[in-house]
Structure formats: structure tokens, C-alpha cells
Amino acid sequence: MAARGAFNSRLGFILAAAGSAVGLGNIWSFPFKVGEGGGAAFLFVYLIFCFLICYPVLVTEIAIGRKTQRNPVGAFKSLGFRRWSIIGYLGLASGVLILSFYNVVAAWSFGYVVELIQGNFGIGKNFGTFITDWVTVGLYGCIFMGATALIVSRGISGGIERAAKILMPTLFLIILGLLIYALTLPGAMDGVKFYLVPDFSKITGDVIYSALGQAFFSLSLGMGALITYGSYVSKDQNIVSAGAMITLADVGIAFIAGFLMFPLVFSQNLGTDGGPGLIFETLPGAFEAIGPVVGVVIGTLFFLLLSFAALTSTVSLLEVPTSYVVDEHGVSRKKAVWSIATVIFIIGIPSLLSAGTVEWLTNFIHLPGNFNAETGEPAFTSFMDFVGIIANDTFLPVGGFLIAVFAAWVWRKENLNEELAQGDEAIRGSLLQKYIDFAISYICPLMLGAIAVVTILDRFLGIKLIG
């Protein structure tokens, strides 16, 4: 087997994994989900899920990767459980599907950088038209996938780690600058209030489902991305504390993104319930109201932030199938990267066309139980949203469920604990380790299993369990 590459430093690993976690999920979907889920009430549930349910899965994934030094398919085989490598194959499928549509949204963000730098604030109102322009968006998508492939093709330390060491600090500086600016806007405090004062009556089954799904996706769990990154970590590192830092970085950036969004939105008297359009439709209006020069700077920086966040995430999504092909089939990294990126780009074309360009892809499928709330007529799901429901809402929780069951009951806790204590003996027998054990054995399988069951019953069979 060829040398697999490894992270050069602990910081490099933490930044790369945090880069995977921090993405469109934090800056695009987190704020609008907070907006829909009653502000602080959603935030509260989200934080609990991140630390109590997701963090144990995160360290378990890293432990499996570090123990085996393999990709998600090879990892289970090398532990001696061939049949469980189905988790790895499921992860590969999730990675390919997620990257195929994630790249389309990343292309929108990149396109917005190009538009805003030219002062085109009208792009917000024209969002619906912009995304149907498949030639332009397709070109941006090509560039974005190309940049992703370029980074991944340079390997772990020379590509992924190096990019993370540049992009993550830059991202942090941009978001801090924007935060300070947003908090000085008139009316900013109303936004902060909305964000931080909880209305617990808004916590419904739906909000809980959405918060856990969001937390899990945001931390890049359930498809072996962290098994893969973990496989490049050396044995002398404390992965329990590294995992805590990754979780904190991810939660911290999402938290700041909300802190930035609501003051901006409130200061311009715009609604918080923009849904997925909150960033692409509402925000350009807020930047325009700021004024010509500063508005261009702030707007451009914002979408640059979004694009950087997306880039370190697409890198991790591409690294998963790449590591599989390199480890298990002995293909060179360069060849693997460019061919996989091309295939995934092609798989993403229907998603690209399903934002209004092609009618049957836009109204792709009527899922049982999905009706227009006002008219009662059947509602249709686009191809892109459908892929999201399959990969994000179904495959990831199923993957997470299986990873937890595997680690606790098949590989067994003693082995997991042994790996967690590698690099820091103080972990052995600690309260934190006992909690991880307990969560992985009971809480995580239960909650992730519940998410998967709800998705299948609710989305695919139209049996309403949550309202």
C-alpha cells in the first residue's frame, strides 16, 4: 500500500475537521432554522444535541479512523467485521449525493461574490431568475468543484491541511469583522433579543427533529468523513479533546452567524422567516440599505465567508470517496480525485437544473403527505430537495445509528475506550469517557434511529408523527 499521508500537526487536523464541519450548514441553514424555530428556543435544543448526542458520535468516528488508519469501507474490514463495511458504502453514497447538490449551493454563493463585488444588490430580488441560469451557475459550479479537486489532489498535509490553515483563520477574521459591524447597526439589539430570548412554546416535534438533523449534518457526521480524517491522525494525539475543540468551533461559528444575521435583518426591518431564501433573497437588500461603498464591501465579504466555509466542507466530502478509491483500489490520488470530481459534477447536473430551469426536475416528485398548507393541493419536491431528503435526512442518521451500534455493541466499548485513551491516559475511567460510553450505547442509537424512522414514515410514507 502506498503511503497514505497524514496531518502534520494537531492544529492542522483540528482546523481541517472544523473546516469540514463549518459550512453552508452553519451560515446558510442554521440562521434560517433559528428563524423558523422560534429563535432562542431552537438554539437551546440545538446546543444540547450538539454536545450530548453529536459529540460522542464525532469522537467515535475519529477513533475508528485513527485505530484502523483506513477509509470508511476499509476501516470496518480491517477491524474484522466485513459485513459492517456496509456503513462505509452507505457513507460513500451519502458523500457523493451530498457533494452533488452542495456544490450547486456553493456555486450560488460564489456567484453572489461576483455579483456583489460589482454592486449588483438587485441579485436578491432576482435570486429566482439567477438560479435558473444554468449556464452561469454551472460555470461557477465547475470552478468550485475544480478548486475542491485541486486542494484534495495535493494530499492531506500539502492540500487539505494547508488549505484549512489559510481558509479557517481568514474565515474567522471575516466573521468577527462582520459581527462587530452588524452589532453597531441601529436596531441591532432587537435582532439579538429575538436570537437570545427563547419562546419555548415554539418547540414542537418538528423543531426537535430539525434541530437534531441540523446538528448532525453540521458536524459532518454519519458518513465517515471523520473516520477518514481520523485515519490521518497520529497515535500520540488526544482525540477526545480534539473532538471537543472541533465541536466548539462548529457550534461557535454557527452561533456567531446567527448573531450576525439577525441584527442585519432587524436593522433593515426585514422578516426572519425567509426560510432558505433568508441569505440569498433577504440579505442583499440589507447590504443595499447600508449604502453603496460599505454595502459592497460588507456584502462581498459575507459571500466570500460563505464560499470559504463551503470550500473546506466540499473538500471533506470529496476526500471520503477519494480515500476509498486510493486505499482499496490502489489508484493514484490525482487520478482518483479528478475522475470522482467529474462524476459527482455530472450527478449534480439534475440538481443544478431543478431550481426552475427544467420543469419536471423542479417539480420532481410528490411525496406522500406533502400538501400545500393553504390550498390542500399536492405539493412537489424538487430533484435537489429530494436528494437532500435521501442523503441528509435518511442516510446520515441511519449511518450514525449503525456507527453507534457498531462501536458500542459489536467492536465493543473496551476497544473504543482503549482507542480514546491513546494519546492521553487521563481519559481512561474519566467521567467524560463514561458519558461517551453511555451515549454511544443508548442515547445515540435511540435518537438517531428515531430520526431515521421519522424521516421514513413522515417523508416517504406520509404518516405524520410530528407536526
Chain residues binding ligand TRP by CB under 6 A are 20-21, 23-26, 98, 217-218, 220, 223, 225, 313, 316-317, 396
Q: How many residues does the chain have?
A: 467
Our CA dihedral for 384, 387, 388, 393, rounded to 10 degrees, sits at 160
- Residue 33 to residues 99, 280, 393: CA-CA distances in angstroms? 21, 15, 15
Question: Which is nearer to ligand TRP, 258 or 423 (by Cβ)?
Answer: 258
Least Å distance, CB 384 to ligand TRP, is 15
The span from the CA of 65 to the CA of 167, in Å, is: 24
Minimum distance from residue 252 beta carbon to ligand TRP (Å): 13
Owner of C-alpha cell 455530472 = 346
Cell numbers at 62, concatenated: 475519529
User: Residue 269 CB, nearest distance to ligand TRP (Å)?
Assistant: 29
* Smallest gap from residue 309 Cβ to ligand TRP (A): 7
Nearer CB in complex with ligand TRP: 15/290: 15
Least distance CB 127 / ligand TRP (angstroms) = 20
Is the separation of the CB atoms in 50 and 249 below 8 Å? no
Nearest CA among 283, 323, 347, 269 for reference residue 101: 347
CB of 35 to ligand TRP, least distance (A): 17
For the bound state, the minimum distance from the C-beta of residue 100 to ligand TRP, rounded and expressed in Å, comes to: 13
Other C-beta atoms closer than 10 Å to the C-beta of 235 total: 11
Q: How far is the CB of 270 from ligand TRP (least distance, A)?
A: 24
Instruction: Report the residue number, 98 or 427, with the smaller CB distance to ligand TRP.
Output: 98
